[in-house]
Amino acid sequence: MADRTLNTLKKFQYRQKFEAISGGAGSSKKRHGASADDLTITLPVGTEVWEVSPDPAKEDELVADLSEDGDTVVAAKGGRGGQGNVKYVTSQNQEPMLAEGGQIGVARELRLELKLLADVGIIGMPNAGKSSLLTALTGAHPKVAAYPFTTLEPSLGVLSRRLDSIVLVEIPGLIEGAAEGIGLGHDFLRHVERTRLLVHLVDGTSDDVEDRMKLINAELLAFDARLSETPQIAVINKSDLPEVSENFENLGGDLAKNVSTGEAFCVSAATYDGLQSLSEALFRCLARIQEDQEALEAMGRDESEIRVLRPSARTSRPLAEIEGSGFRILHDRAVRVANASDLSIYEVQIQLHSLLGRLGVVKALEELGVKTGDTVSIGEAELEWN
């Protein structure tokens, strides 16, 4: 279940196996056993749940995208309860000796992937000043230092204005080859997928400001073509340095042409110069993006990706199979009955054989060539076919 109060998956570093408790056993006088409570695992909003493929050659399958607070998915169903011997009372058999055990619950190996949900993503090369800008805009306090790759995981901050607020995420520094996974590129780029607007930050003291922007945009395109279509605002940092301000006067127009919003700003995360104008632009651009989205929806053209959870089609499982020199019964209910009954008693074997006939298992075994005297395995037991 998605829980908006959580923001990391760190708790799964220490515990990776979860098992719901079993229900209670039934008792005499037709009394049912108590049902067990569901085991609910809470996850941050924005978590994708993937089923790990047992075949390394096949891709994992998306089970659910928990993108709203309270979103819930049943990842593994518990087994249905068993049936007591009263279930098998018939007019010919008033004292049945068969009982049916409960089903074994589903076991699945899942991979959890958190993609942060934010309005604005701050992108750029290492040491461009993204952490400092996030702090200056929102008051968040990510780790800051004067060397590349200080930030190893995304940091969130909230920019408020009267009744409005914007969630910003700082994406750790991208480098050439990030789309191929170099420098933890995949880990960082996947967080950009959930943002509606990008602030493309460049260190104003660099000699190749425009080239750096083009390099990062090329990585976005290589990772996912849709990312290259996400609206961007160009921002040059360190306007408190005279050479940066002068450089921006020459480059500002060209940088604005490189971004879809047509807006470029020169700011200083250290002195807060230009941040008011940048903040107003963020609110303005997001409002325009929202209006465009609503217009598309009104026209019946919602172009955003909608992930739909569709259960896979059930495949028919054989009722029995050849196993070595003998046979094995696979029918789920038959196996549960056998595991819950005392098959050393001849009368129980007779009742089980009758049940196997009604379930179609006898016919399946005969089609496989079973003969009197053959060994037939069912659950934990081995029987001599007669």
Give residue-wise pLDDT tens across range 159-175: 887 778 888 888 775 54
Residues 225 and 334 in one domain: no
On whether both 106 and 131 belong to a single domain, the answer is no
DSSP count for the chain of H helices, then E strands? 8, 15
Whether residue 266 sits in one domain with residue 171: yes
Query: Residue 376's pLDDT is what?
Result: 94
Q: Domain for residue 308, yes or no?
A: no
Domain presence at residue 196 = yes
Q: What is the pLDDT of residue 313?
A: 34
3-state secondary structure of 20: coil
Instruction: List Cβ neighbours of 157 (8 Å cut-off, separation of 6 or more).
Output: 134, 135, 137, 138, 139, 140, 167, 168, 169, 170
Cα–Cα distance, 15 to 17 (Å, whole number)? 6
More confident residue, 334 or 161: 334
Element (H, E) at 328: strand 326-329
Among the listed residues 281, 188, 189, 273, the one whose alpha carbon sits nearest the alpha carbon of residue 231: 281
Q: Say if residue 187 is in the same domain as residue 261.
A: yes
Of 64, 83, 114, the position where a domain reaches its end is 114
How does residue 282 score in pLDDT terms, banded at 50, 70 and 90? Answer: very high
CATH no. for residue 360?
3.30.300
State residue 168's pLDDT score: 85
User: Are 187 and 292 in the same domain?
Assistant: yes
> Do the beta carbons of residue 89 and residue 100 sit within 8 Å?
no
Write b or e for each residue in 56-65: b if 16 or more Cβ atoms lie within 10 A of its Cβ, otherwise e: eeeeeeebbb
The pLDDT value recorded for residue 186 is 43
pLDDT tens sequence across 237-256: 888 888 888 878 777 777 77
Instruction: Give the pLDDT score at 200.
Output: 87
Whether 3 contacts 42, CB under 8 Å: yes
Distance from C-alpha of 276 to C-alpha of 284, rounded to nearest angstrom: 12
Contacts (Cβ under 8 Å, ≥6 apart) of 261: 231, 232, 233, 281, 285
In a domain, 211, yes or no: yes
Same domain (yes/no): 109, 253 = no
Do 288 and 161 share a structural domain? yes
Least confident of 8-17, 46-55, 347-356: 8-17
How confident is the prediction for the chain on average, in pLDDT? 77
> Strands 375-378, 381-384: parallel, antiparallel or unpaired by DSSP?
antiparallel
Q: Is the residue at 134 inside a domain?
A: yes
Name the residue with higher pLDDT: 2 or 26. 2
pLDDT in tens, 19-58: 888 876 666 666 666 677 888 999 888 788 889 888 888 8
Residue 330 and residue 289 share a domain: no
78 vs 156: which has the higher pLDDT: 78
Assign residue 45 the CATH number of its domain. Answer: 2.70.210.12
Most confident of the following: 163-177, 262-276, 310-324: 262-276
Residue 313 counted as domain residue: no
The pLDDT of residue 369 is: 93
- Answer with the one of 94, 114, 134 that is the final residue of a domain: 114
Task: Using the predicted structure, report yes or no on whether residue 307 has a pLDDT greater than 50.
Answer: no
- Say whether both 151 and 271 belong to one domain: yes
Which of 144, 120, 121, 122 lies closest to 132 in space, CA to CA? 144
Q: Is 370 inside any structural domain?
A: yes
Strands laid side by side in the 320-323 sheet? 320-323, 326-329, 375-378, 381-384
Asked if 276 and 172 sit in the same domain, the reply is yes
For position 30, what pLDDT does the model report? Answer: 64
What CATH number should be reported for the domain holding residue 201? Answer: 3.40.50.300
Domain with 369 in it: 320-384
* Domain assignment of residue 162, yes or no: yes
Q: Give 189-207 pLDDT, tens digit per residue.
A: 566 666 788 898 888 887 7
Do 106 and 153 reside in the same domain of the chain?
no
Instruction: Tell me if 249 sits within 8 A of 217, measured CB to CB.
Output: no
Please tell me the distance from the alpha carbon of residue 130 to that of residue 202, in angstroms, as a whole number.
Answer: 9
pLDDT, residue 121, reads 86
End position of a domain, from candidates 58, 88, 114: 114
Cβ proximity of 78 and 21 under 8 Å: no
Does 271 share its domain with 153? yes
Q: What is the rounded distance in angstroms from the CA atom of residue 105 to the CA atom of residue 210?
A: 57
User: pLDDT at position 375, please?
Assistant: 94
346 domain residue, yes or no: yes
- pTM above 0.95? no
Distance separating alpha carbons of residues 252 and 242, to the nearest angstrom: 15
Number of neighbouring beta carbons within 10 Å of residue 237: 27
Number of domains into which the chain is organized: 3
State the pLDDT at residue 29: 62
